[in-house]
Amino acid sequence: MSSLFLKPFLFLYDSSLSLLLLLFNGWSLENPAAAQMRLHAENNAAKSEWKEMQYVWIKTRTLVLIPIFKGLVVLCLVLSIVVFAESFYMNFVILIVKIFRRKPEKVYKWEAMQEEDVEVGPEKYPVVLIQIPMFNEKEVFQLSIASVCSLLWPSSRLVIQVVDDSTDPAVREGVDIEIAKWQSQGINIRCERRDNRDGYKAGAMKEALTHSYVRQCDFVTVFDADFQPEPDYLNRAIPFLVHNPEVALVQARWIFVNANECLMTRMQEMSLNYHFKVEQESGSTRHAFFGFNGTAGVWRLAAIEEAGGWKSRTTVEDMDLAVRVGLHGWKFVYLNDLTVRNELPSKFKAYRFQQHRWSCGPANLFRKMTMEIVYNKRVSLWKKFYVIYSFFFVRKVAVHFLTFFFYCIVVPTSVFFPEIHIPLWSTIYVPCLISIFHTLATPRSFYLVIIWILFENVMAMHRSKGTCIGLLEGGRVNEWVVTEKLGDALKSKLLSKVVQRKSYYERVNSKEVMVGVYILGCALYGMYYGHTWLHFYLFLQAIAFFVSGFGFIGT
């Protein structure tokens, strides 16, 4: 009976041993010695296959990846020299201007509009048209209309157009009420509306110039909806056009009412001050040409008509007009001492859209106009070279690619290629000098230069993407998003109602986060293997991308 009782357990024991043998020796009936030999052969084959993979990787790295990366480094080094030379040249011109005090009033004929002329009669004053283009600008339209209507100029020689493309009924009604208020005070102001938005701002301004009453005007001044000129703006700008028939444009400098709103607006102020005080003034001084900024400028209507008027083929209709007028031989004057207040975008999303338009549009215009500039016979070869090389290629294309691909892609990736040497002058000396050149335009923000560099590198990603879209005419090439303004809400408790908090996931910007993760990985790799000191910079740059990526920037 006991043997019968033990048989089931013996069966289970034998079955378990068989399963364990099959598990560790495979589903075969070979003996243990043969199985051991087979496992040894498989290990040797695996080692051989791994060595072969290592060999293929080493060959690929040596023959493909290193030459490609070395070529990218050389290209970035060349662009570094090009950008530095351009920056040095512009700052040298500004230095000469400051030393010899070459103000526009000394270079061009300028005589003040005499007050006694008003007593004789306003006929000696030219008729000036002022255009205020706007689209649903509910926060700022009252400020801009009030500022323009307060300009010191004979009312009979001033025509104000509110070029309103607004689709919000409340905004349209508010604009009408504001216009009626100023009309009751004797101001010649009117509103021009369309039943479509074809051509956006350029289309609206072009149609507004077709009205019969515009023919009596000599000059046209443009102020975007958030711009607030000083009362003496026309008295200081118009004399350059009156006394110099070869001048087509007088451009004023922007100053910013909300520069201290947040760290992002401080960074914008540094970049835009350099643009105006260095790029615009050096172009005006050396070549009598620069890009119209779309607002705060006075045009000679005859020059606009000669160049073919406003065109909406790109999102930078202002630059398009300036280049075409410049190719007809007209001169431009930039006034650094004449300032107009305006508002910087304080939301990161609004700033991204603005930078996309400001980088995509010039690149697309460069693509469209290069051959037109080359074959032009009205201007000198030197000026054509300046427009193509300096104005377009270096400032609108090369600088964006260099800033992002070199400092955010090539330099971080160099930790994986220690055999490739990137010279210190390209990673330390040249960037430091260029940064100093920029911060000299805003001395009060010099202590923010490190943060400004990191932030500019983040924004260079969007500018590079916009530049590529513009050069290749991609899907978003004609995307136009009006930059959001906050107006009086910036100074009041209404700001919390205008700027509504977003949820955590709505604030996340995936592109910045992905680049931040990559740079962080490069920093950790560089720190672990100790190939380079660059991991200190890489950690800071990764943090800048994460701060922007997770929405902890702007208001």
How far apart are the C-alpha atoms of 62 and 59, rounded to whole Å? 5
Helix, strand, coil in percent for the chain, rounding step 5: 65, 10, 25
Q: What is the pTM of this model?
A: 0.87
Q: From edge to edge, which strands make up the β-sheet containing 219-222? A: 189-193, 158-164, 128-134, 219-222, 297-300, 247-256, 331-342, 228-229
Kindly indicate the confidence band of residue 429, based on its pLDDT and cuts at 50, 70 and 90: very high
Instruction: For 52-66, write each residue's pLDDT tens digit.
Output: 888 888 888 889 999
Confidence of residue 139 (pLDDT cuts 50, 70, 90): confident
pLDDT at res. 317: 95
Which residues is 250 bridged to in the sheet? 298, 333
Q: Using the predicted structure, report yes or no on whether residue 297 has a pLDDT greater than 70.
A: yes
The Cα 459–Cα 160 span in angstroms is 37
Q: Which of 165, 224, 226, 320 is catalytic?
A: 165
Looking at residue 62, what is its pLDDT?
87
Residue 67 has pLDDT above 80, yes or no: yes
Q: What average pLDDT does the structure give for the chain?
A: 88
The reply to whether 165 belongs to the active site is yes
Bridge partners of 254?
A: 340
507 — pLDDT class (breaks 50, 70, 90): confident
**Residue 465 Cα distances to 196, 398, 462, angstroms:** 30, 13, 5
Q: Which of 20-34, 111-125, 211-225, 519-533 is predicted most confidently?
A: 211-225
Work out the average pLDDT over 460-482.
89
Burial 329-353 (b: 16+ CB within 10 A, else e): bbbbbbbbebbbbbbbbbbbbbbbb
Q: Is the pLDDT of residue 410 over 70?
A: yes
Residue 184 lies in a domain: yes
Look at residue 49 and give its three-state secondary structure.
helix
What is the sign of the dihedral through the CA atoms of 217, 222, 228 and 229? Answer: negative
- What string of H, E and C letters represents the secondary structure of 199-257? CHHHHHHHHHCCCHHHHHCCEEEECCCCCEECCCHHHHHHHHHHHCCCEEEEEEEEEEC
Asked whether the predicted pLDDT for residue 227 surpasses 70, the reply is yes
The answer, yes or no, to whether residue 117 has pLDDT greater than 60, is no
Question: Across residues 441-448, what is the average pLDDT?
Answer: 95
Q: Kindly state whether residue 224 falls inside one of the protein's structural domains.
A: yes
What is the model's pLDDT at position 481?
77
Task: Point out the least confidently predicted range of 236-240, 375-379, 414-418, 495-499.
Answer: 495-499
234/218 Cα distance (integer angstroms): 13
Closest CA to 267 of 437, 423, 419, 455: 455
List the domain range (segments joined by +) for residue 162. Answer: 104-111+124-345
More confident residue, 516 or 485: 516
Residue 390 lies inside a defined structural domain of this protein: no
Amino acid 496: pLDDT: 44
Q: Supply the Cα-derived Rg of the chain in whole angstroms.
A: 32
**Side chain identity, residue 335:** L
Q: Write down the pLDDT at residue 18.
A: 53
pLDDT digits (tens, 9 = 90+) for 10-21: 455 555 545 444
- Provide the pLDDT for residue 16: 55
Q: How confident is the model at residue 488 (pLDDT cuts 50, 70, 90)?
A: low
Rounded Cα distance, 128 and 87, in Å? 37
Q: What's the average model confidence in pLDDT over 380-397?
A: 96
- Structurally, the chain folds into a number of domains equal to 1
- How confident is the model at residue 57, as a pLDDT? 84
**Position 42 in a domain:** no
Is 337 among the catalytic positions?
Answer: no
Note whether residue 520 is domain-resident.
Answer: no
In sequence order, which residues have a C-beta less than 8 Å from that of residue 25 and are 6 or more positions away?
A: 32, 35
Residue 83 domain flag:
no
Residue 314 domain flag: yes
Residue at 140 is within a domain: yes
Better-scored residue on pLDDT, 510 or 554:
510
Average pLDDT for 79-94: 97
Structure tokens given for 198: 């074809």
Q: Any idea what the CATH number is for the domain that residue 318 is in? A: 3.90.550.10
Cα 419 to the chain's mean position, in Å? 35
Q: Provide the pLDDT for residue 23.
A: 43
Catalytic pick from 164, 224, 226, 318? 318
**Chain center to CA of 375:** 29
pLDDT of residue 195: 86
Question: Looking at residue 456, what is its pLDDT?
Answer: 97
Query: What pLDDT score does 492 carry?
Result: 47
Using one digit for the tens of pLDDT, what is the confidence trace for 449-467?
Answer: 999 999 999 999 999 999 9
Strand-pair category, 228-229 with 158-164: unpaired
Candidate from 104-118, 312-326, 334-348, 508-522 with smallest mean pLDDT: 104-118
